[in-house]
Amino acid sequence: MKIYTKIAQIERLLDLDCQQIYHAKLVEKVYSFKCTAYYLNLVKNSDFTDPIFSQIFPQRFELSCFGEEDPFKEEGSFEIPHVYKRYKNRILIVTTNLCFVHCRFCTRKRNWKGKVFFFSHIDELIELLRFHEEIEDVILSGGDPFCLPIDLLEEIISKLKSVKHIKVIRIGSRAPVVAPDSVDSKRLRILKKYAPLWLNTHFNHYIEITEESKRAILNLMKAGISINNQTVLLKGINDDYGVLRRLFVQLASIGVRPYYLFNCDPVKGVLHFRVGEDIGKLLIERLLDNLSPMYVPRFAVDTENGKKIVI
Ligand code: SF4
């Protein structure tokens, strides 16, 4: 799979102007650029009116000094490195800091810095879970778990499945959206062995629903995976009734349940994407007036004390 990791590699492909290149190269020194050739190909206009361009192209606002890198104090919330516990009955494992794409609005862009890691504490975690019977739900997150070596992904899932009180395993991955080729027969075979599993994916705009992403979704469903979608409400990208309506109807039509619309977190380097809570609420109210609630997501805001469901 072709992945671009430097602005210099895409300058000509996107026909960027000098100012765009200048700012993006400054930003990439702090928050690196990364994008699959597949996802880059969805860009129609090389400016911030384009919803794909805006999700992957570095903006100078990312260098703002406002906001915190870890506002919800995820780091250190559990005894094992790269495991977060913010709710009584569930934990989240940052399985790697690798992603196929660096989404500019990422909540965990702090993890892009530093050396690449793959989760190596599964035995320690399984041992510790014996003393945490309250934990029944594990989220494999990242980074993107689809970037893990396949044997490691299998090892993590199989060991978690062996713990009696773990009832739910969810994989959080943008793979069907940004790298549908990675949903390949090898991975599908492994996932099918451990079905039922849940996959929470992340479509933000209807333009991302392509023939390739639809095929990836269908193959995951055939492998016994139930799929939910978490959209992040992003200024200038999807903070619009028509865009969200079309996105949620199309997701429902391919068998994906719109699960959450998240307010963008107050993370350092992403504040320019944030939309007011009142706008998110109004958008959902209008969607509820016009669509079946079955495919209108809940609007949620992350807080230090957990998730607040606004509507
Ligand atoms: S795929 Fe997810 S974890 Fe990776 S950069 Fe995008 S939002 Fe962040």
Atom of ligand 1 nearest to the CA of 178: 1
Domain residue extents for the chain = 3-309
Q: Residue 103: its pLDDT value, please?
A: 98
Distance of alpha carbon 281 from alpha carbon 293, whole angstroms: 14
Q: Locate tokens 């998110």: which residue?
A: 280
**Closest residue (by CA) to atom 7 of ligand 1?**
106
Residue with tokens 């599993």: 197
Per-residue pLDDT for 311 more than 90?
A: no
pLDDT in tens, 241-262: 999 999 999 999 999 999 999 9
Which of 307 and 234 is assigned the larger pLDDT? 234
Q: Read off the pLDDT of each residue in 35-39 and give the average, rounded to a whole number.
A: 98
CB neighbour list of residue 227: distance below 8 Å, 6 or more residues apart:
198, 199, 200, 201, 217, 220, 221, 255, 256, 257
Backbone angles phi, psi at 33, to 5 degrees: -95, 140
Cα distance between residue 236 and residue 233, in whole Å? 9
Distance (Å, whole) CA 22 – CA 133: 52
Is the link from the previous residue into 67 a cis peptide, with omega within 30 of 0?
no
Backbone φ and ψ of 232, nearest 5°: -105, 130
The alpha carbon of 99 and the centre of ligand 1 are apart by a number of angstroms equal to 6
Mark out the alpha helices in the chain (DSSP H runs). 18-28, 37-40, 51-56, 122-129, 150-161, 175-178, 185-193, 211-222, 241-253, 277-290
In short, whether 51's Cβ falls inside 6 Å of ligand 1 is no
Q: Return the pLDDT at 108.
A: 95
Residue 2 has pLDDT above 90, yes or no: yes
pLDDT at 305 over 80: no
- Asked whether 174 lines ligand 1 (CB < 6 A), one says yes
**Residue from 197, 199, 170 nearest 91 by CA:** 170
| pLDDT confidence of residue 68 | 92
pTM reported for the whole predicted model: 0.95
Q: Among 99, 102, 264, which is best to mutate for testing ligand 1, by the most ligand atoms less than 8 A from CB?
A: 99
pLDDT, mean of residues 196-213: 98
Ligand 1 atom closest to the CA of 143, numbered from 1? 3
Atom 6 of ligand 1, nearest CA residue: 103
Which pLDDT score is estimated for 145?
A: 98
Residue 84 is predicted with a pLDDT of 95
Q: Is residue 279's pLDDT more than 90? A: yes
The CA 106 to ligand 1 mean position distance, Å, reads 5
Q: What is the mean pLDDT of residues 183-203?
A: 96
Of the residues 54, 109, 144, which should be mutated to test ligand 1's pocket, given the most ligand atoms within 8 Å of the CB?
Answer: 144
**CA 249 to ligand 1 centroid distance, Å:** 24
Per residue in 74-110, pLDDT (tens digit) is 888 899 999 999 999 999 999 999 999 999 999 999 9
Residue 182 has pLDDT above 90, yes or no: yes
Pocket of ligand 1, candidates 106, 203, 205: which has the most ligand atoms within 8 Å of its Cβ, to mutate? 106
Q: Is the CB of 103 under 6 A from ligand 1?
A: yes
Quote the percentage of the chain above a pLDDT of 70: 100
Distance of CA 13 from the midpoint of ligand 1 (Å): 23
What is the arithmetic mean of pLDDT over 37-61? 97
Residue 112 has pLDDT above 90, yes or no: yes
pLDDT band at 55; cut points 50, 70, 90: very high
pLDDT at 221: 97
- Atom index in ligand 1 nearest the CA of residue 141 equals 3
Residues contacting residue 258 through CB under 8 Å, at least 6 positions apart: 228, 229, 231, 247, 248, 251, 252, 295, 296, 297
The SS3 of residue 37 is helix
Fold of 3-309: TIM Barrel (3.20.20)
The per-residue pLDDT of the chain, averaged, comes to: 96
Please report the DSSP string for 165-224 in residue order. T--EEEEE--HHHH-GGGS-HHHHHHHHHT-SEEEEE---SGGG--HHHHHHHHHHHHTT
pLDDT of residue 216 exceeding 80: yes
Residues sharing a CB contact under 8 Å with residue 9, sequence separation 6 or more, in sequence order:
none
Cβ of residue 144 lying under 6 Å from some atom of ligand 1: yes
Residues in the chain: 311
C-alpha to C-alpha distance for 44 and 47, rounded to whole angstroms: 9
Amino acid at residue number 293: P
Instruction: Tell me what pLDDT residue 142 has.
Output: 87
Residue 190: pLDDT over 80: yes
Per-residue pLDDT at 22: 96
Count the helices and strands in the chain (H runs, E runs).
10, 11
Using one digit for the tens of pLDDT, what is the confidence trace for 135-171?
Answer: 999 999 989 999 999 999 999 999 999 999 999 999 9
CA distance 290 to 287: 5
